[in-house]
Structure 1
């Protein structure tokens, strides 16, 4: 057995596993996120009654996270409603 082939000590494996779990958790959306997809669609539907066609998350020009919701209004036109993902306010 070569020097580099030795198994990691138990303490090093625990640290490695901890770092891996923290990395994976960083990929999840934050639990404190103000407005989720369904809430954004509901807000947009309230602002522009009609049928929600699409809900997409993106960045606003000021680098804040927003929801972009396309709504087919009862008048027949397609409206784009932008909702701040933190506050739930329309932009």
Structure 2
């Protein structure tokens, strides 16, 4: 199953550039395939330029499944890091 998403960013390391949608905070799906996080590819994307006409692209179910898993992993990692910081503050 495919769904249409609206681009929020564009790739900076591909030629030609590809549309990108931030589907969860810090989780991006790329037109043509791929799922990335801000932690491992954050500087590979730039905000979509103003006036970009073609702003939507299809995303398959597999991409969305991985995006959901990445979102969960990012949130759990953030919670773990916060717990570590809190433990260090208590020392």
Q: Same fold (TM over 0.5)?
A: no
**TM-score, normalised on structure 1?**
0.29
Q: Tell which structure's C-alpha radius of gyration is larger.
A: 1
Give the helix-richer structure, 1 or 2.
2
